[in-house]
């Protein structure tokens, strides 16, 4: 007598759908990036049919029966992207241990669950991309995508010209290697403050602040003005604007179909 094999979760609900790893399915549903979902599984936050998962190797065909922090996960919606003008004082995180207010606490209530493309720290402001597709968020964060991030920075102190040149070519600060950065000094903002324009191709944690401190400049304002082809423009602080699907298809090119933007 043959032994019956265990079927992936959700198979009965959608027998004609292909089984996929749960991280991919939840990323598409906007829960988190695939790596983020894997971390959530390690933390015991995800369950299937009431059973808490201990491995990301679980195969599913649908979000039916999946819960995150005890809450059911909706099926994936069509892929969408928004521009958000993040103000100073908000955390870019879905939960803060210190109880501080997050970007996701103040977004319009009619928006679906979204993920940020990269981050801005609590004291930084400007353009933040948001999407309901975790796989797309992860793709857009990669340096290989080729999308540059533009910043304007105001800082106090006289910069060290030799270190500024190092930054332009690629500097190592506290053991961390940073890629080449376009860095130009703009106008003076007072006796001791000056504005600088920076263009990054990566976007490592607190990269702008660390590089400017390395050059002898203490940053007191940091504003991201663009991410790839998307511009902050005159979008007011705290405002959200959706990117048209046609523009997303155009900018993603051949990759658009991979993220459901056909």
Known catalytic residues are 121
Residue whose tokens read 């109880």: 99
Q: In whole angstroms, what is the distance from residue 250 CA to residue 229 CA?
A: 11
Q: What residues contact residue 120 under an 8 Å CB cut-off, 6+ apart?
A: 86, 92, 126, 128, 222, 224
What's phi and psi for 188, nearest 5 deg? -75, 145
Q: In whole angstroms, what is the distance from residue 254 CA to residue 262 CA?
A: 10
What's phi and psi for 254, nearest 5 deg? -65, -20
Concatenating the DSSP letter of every residue in 60-71 gives ESSSTTEEETTE
For 35, other C-beta atoms within 10 Å of its C-beta total 13
Q: In whole angstroms, what is the distance from residue 17 CA to residue 26 CA?
A: 15
- By DSSP bridging, strand 125-131 and strand 115-117 are antiparallel
Q: In whole angstroms, what is the distance from residue 63 CA to residue 203 CA?
A: 32
């Amino acid at each position: 007598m043959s032994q019956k094999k265990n079927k992936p979760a959700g198979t009965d609900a959608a027998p004609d759908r292909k089984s996929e790893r749960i991280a991919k399915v939840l990323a598409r549903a906007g829960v988190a990036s695939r790596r983020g979902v894997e971390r959530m599984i390690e933390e015991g936050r995800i369950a299937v049919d009431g059973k808490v998962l201990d491995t990301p190797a679980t195969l599913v065909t649908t979000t039916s029966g999946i819960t995150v922090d005890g809450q059911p996960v909706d099926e994936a919606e069509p892929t969408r992207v928004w521009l958000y003008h993040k103000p100073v004082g908000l955390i870019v995180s879905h939960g803060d241990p210190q109880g501080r207010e997050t970007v996701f606490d103040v977004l319009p209530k009619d928006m679906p669950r979204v993920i940020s493309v990269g981050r801005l720290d609590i004291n930084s402001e400007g353009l933040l991309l948001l999407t309901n597709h975790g796989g797309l968020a992860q793709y857009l964060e990669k340096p290989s995508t080729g999308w540059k991030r533009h910043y304007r920075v105001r800082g106090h102190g006289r910069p060290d010209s030799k270190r500024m040149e190092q930054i332009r070519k690629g500097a190592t600060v506290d053991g961390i290697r940073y890629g080449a950065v376009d860095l130009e000094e703009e106008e003076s903002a007072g006796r001791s403050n000056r504005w600088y324009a920076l263009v990054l191709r990566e976007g490592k944690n607190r990269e702008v602040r660390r590089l400017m401190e390395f050059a002898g400049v203490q940053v007191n304002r940091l504003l991201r003005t663009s991410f790839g082809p998307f511009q902050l423009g005159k979008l007011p602080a705290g405002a959200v604007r959706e990117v048209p699907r046609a523009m997303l298809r155009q900018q993603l090119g051949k990759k658009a179909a991979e993220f459901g933007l056909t």
